[in-house]
Amino acid sequence: MSSIGLLLISTTLRNMEKPEKNEITYEYTRKRKYFGRQCLFEDHGPEVLINIANNPVFYKNYILRNPVHVAIQNTGTMSEHWVNSVRAEYTSSGIRHVEGGWPKDINMNDPEATQRYRRKIEKDDAYMHAVMHLGHSMEHNILQNQAIDMYQTYYEELPSIPPVERSSCHTVNVYREPGTRRPVRSLSWQADGGARLATAYADVDLSRNNRAQQVSYIWDIENANAPELTIKPTQPLLDLQYNPRDQNILVGGMLNGQVGWWDMRKGGEAAGVCPPHMAHRDLVRNVLFINSKTGAEFFSASPDGVSIETAIGISALEYEPTIPTRFMVGTETGAVIGGNRKGKNPVEKLPNKYEAHLGPVYALQRNPTFLKNFLTVGDWTARVWSEDCRESSILWTYSHRTKLTDGAWNPIRFSLMLVTQWDGCLSCWDLLRRRSAPIVTAQLCDEPLLRLRPHEGGLLVACGSSKGTVYLAELSQNLGTADKNDKQLLTHILDRENKRERILEARMREMRLRMRQDRDGAQQNTETDHTANDRDLEEATTEYMQTISELQAQQKMS
């Protein structure tokens, strides 16, 4: 089709002496957008075409047939018919055209004479009106040809806009403990992106009465019917972790204070257990591997402490392999304490302390990208801390109606916090998208969720409940992947909040110092002048009586 879209009629006039080669060409072109209009379809409700009432007379003729296949056509029959009109007869002929139409007194072979005649005709009023009349119709056709087509897609060369993000979280699999349903105490993914999940179960109250089973399980996430391997400790396990260097080795902490290790290649029996005189004097809540040459060293945490009477129990343990000499612990009193393995005195060994929560710290983890910032979960809030600000957190969630039980950073999208709640919800907080509320809240179950552990791939999250059920949840693609600008944006957010908290801390220190100075100055004035209070009372009484007298005088004048 032509891009001009004008009605073009061209006539080829040739010499009459060769009629076999003479042709008259007729060419008609038109843009495709003028051929028709867009078809707009819309929903139409049901329409009753006919309603035939039943006739009881025909009941006796009813015969039950099974099966019955009947074809019914309820719509009107339509057909399409094409008709060719009568064809027009065309002939090709030619004429010889010579220039004519000139007056008799004008020689058409004289250019000057014809030019003078043209100028004379152009000055004629009739000629000007004819041209103006033809110009309006021509202008109309040109404007019609250049009009915008409302059905055409313009600006196709521009880059496409990314679609609106749709964040979601849904359950993809459920793993239930065989037999007695005990609370899930620990979750650990197999190293190197494996598809196995180690799960520790323990009911502390029943286990201390020796009435509960003691086994834990290793699940293949592709098979939720039965566990792949049963771990058989001497006491119920409260924590079970994979070795990051050897995916066949696991370590666990038991209820009686002992720690042990298991080799999956040798079955579910313990490969080694520490002797009782080297064990803790209370239950072992956490075990973690540390960075060592052999890859077989780990440390454990318990509420016993050095002296069990005055000990502050440890409820959470954190260790980052890239910082081999430092670790952090969360206590049952709500404090987070930083430790140094290479410290020579008590101050160097425990250099940092943060008053994080009102109750036990249930979760403690450093950000996988920004190691100076760490996440704590306790009481009804989740908080983000910086090592440079010890008096308060730099970011925090609102106080939930239910208790928060666990939390962790997403290993791929490092701005995403995953938090489990007592009401069975898994909430996802993205610091880059929205900080006032979670971006997604998924109701995985009705019972409390106690533990969560995200997969290193970023899209899968394992959550354990109080009834021994592990829920495998899958995040949407935008929640499990990081953009190229996310690191820079999160750096700006953390730096800005860190700076704000430091300014507030300096302001609070100035206010406390001023209050201390005012209190000390007031005490000195009290010691030097014993009649200061009496003078203040007399001045206040005199001012009060003077105000009363003025009011009475104004009332008398009115």
Average pLDDT over every residue of 238-254: 91
Beta strand extents in 31-183 (DSSP E only): 169-176
Q: How confident is the model at residue 55, as a pLDDT?
A: 86
Q: How confident is the model at residue 490, as a pLDDT?
A: 92
Q: How confident is the model at residue 212, as a pLDDT?
A: 62
Q: How confident is the model at residue 3, as a pLDDT?
A: 37
Under the banding of pLDDT at 50, 70 and 90, the label for residue 95 is confident
User: In this model, does residue 79 exceed pLDDT 90?
Assistant: no
- 422-479 per-position pLDDT tens digit: 999 999 999 998 888 999 999 999 999 999 999 998 899 999 999 999 999 999 998 9
Torsion of CA 132, 134, 140, 146, to 10 degrees: -100
- 186-206 per-position pLDDT tens digit: 999 987 766 899 999 998 876
Q: What is the distance between the terminal CA atoms of the chain, rounded to a whole angstrom?
A: 99
Question: How far apart (Å, rounded) are the C-alpha atoms in residues 4 and 31?
Answer: 8
Under the banding of pLDDT at 50, 70 and 90, the label for residue 7 is very low
> Which DSSP helix (H) or strand (E) runs through 461?
strand 460-465
Question: How far apart (Å, rounded) are the C-alpha atoms in residues 231 and 342?
Answer: 35
Give the C-alpha distances (Å, rounded to integers) separating 466 from 310, 420, 455, 463.
30, 12, 21, 10
**pTM for the full model?**
0.65
User: In this model, does residue 6 exceed pLDDT 60?
Assistant: no
SS (H, E, C) 490-544: HHHHHHHHHHHHHHHHHHHHHHHHHHHHHHHHHHHHHHHCCCHHHHHHHHHHHHH
Average pLDDT, the chain: 84
- 291-348 per-position pLDDT tens digit: 888 888 999 999 888 777 788 889 999 998 888 889 999 999 999 999 998 888 888 8
- Peptide bond before 19: cis, by omega within 30 degrees of 0? no
- 491-518 per-position pLDDT tens digit: 999 999 999 988 888 888 888 888 888 8
User: In this model, does residue 260 exceed pLDDT 90?
Assistant: yes
Lowest mean pLDDT among 30-44, 172-186, 208-222, 350-364: 30-44
Residue that wins the pLDDT comparison between 228 and 98: 228
Average pLDDT over every residue of 538-556: 77
Both tokens assigned to 484: 């190229």
User: In this model, does residue 125 exceed pLDDT 60?
Assistant: yes
- Ramachandran region, residue 468 (left: φ > 0; alpha: ψ -120 to 50; beta: rest): left
Average pLDDT over every residue of 539-553: 79
% the chain with pLDDT above 70:
90
Map tokens 């079955």 to a residue.
267
* Burial bucket for residue 218 (CB in 10 Å: 0-12, 13-18, 19+): buried
Lowest mean pLDDT among 25-29, 212-216, 377-381, 396-400: 25-29
Strand order in the sheet with 381-386: 361-366, 373-378, 381-386, 395-396
User: In this model, does residue 184 exceed pLDDT 90?
Assistant: yes
Under the banding of pLDDT at 50, 70 and 90, the label for residue 524 is low
Q: How confident is the model at residue 288, as a pLDDT?
A: 92
User: In this model, does residue 277 exceed pLDDT 80?
Assistant: yes
Under the banding of pLDDT at 50, 70 and 90, the label for residue 556 is low
Question: How far apart (Å, rounded) are the C-alpha atoms in residues 185 and 451?
Answer: 7
By three-state DSSP, how is residue 103 classified? coil
Average pLDDT over every residue of 124-137: 86
Average pLDDT over every residue of 66-95: 80
Q: How confident is the model at residue 120, as a pLDDT?
A: 86
Average pLDDT over every residue of 57-75: 80
User: In this model, does residue 148 exceed pLDDT 80?
Assistant: no
Lowest mean pLDDT among 109-113, 136-140, 440-444, 550-554: 550-554
% the chain with pLDDT above 90:
38
Under the banding of pLDDT at 50, 70 and 90, the label for residue 37 is low
Classify strands 298-301 and 326-331 as parallel, antiparallel or unpaired. Answer: unpaired
Angle at 353 between CA 351 and CA 356, to 5 degrees: 160
Average pLDDT over every residue of 9-29: 52
User: In this model, does residue 280 exceed pLDDT 80?
Assistant: yes
Question: How far apart (Å, rounded) are the C-alpha atoms in residues 182 and 432?
Answer: 37
Cβ neighbours for 71, distance < 8 A, ≥ 6 positions apart: none
Question: How far apart (Å, rounded) are the C-alpha atoms in residues 48 and 7?
Answer: 50
The count of C-alpha atoms lying within 13 angstroms of the C-alpha of 541, restricted to the half-sphere facing its C-beta, is 6
Q: How confident is the model at residue 108, as a pLDDT?
A: 82
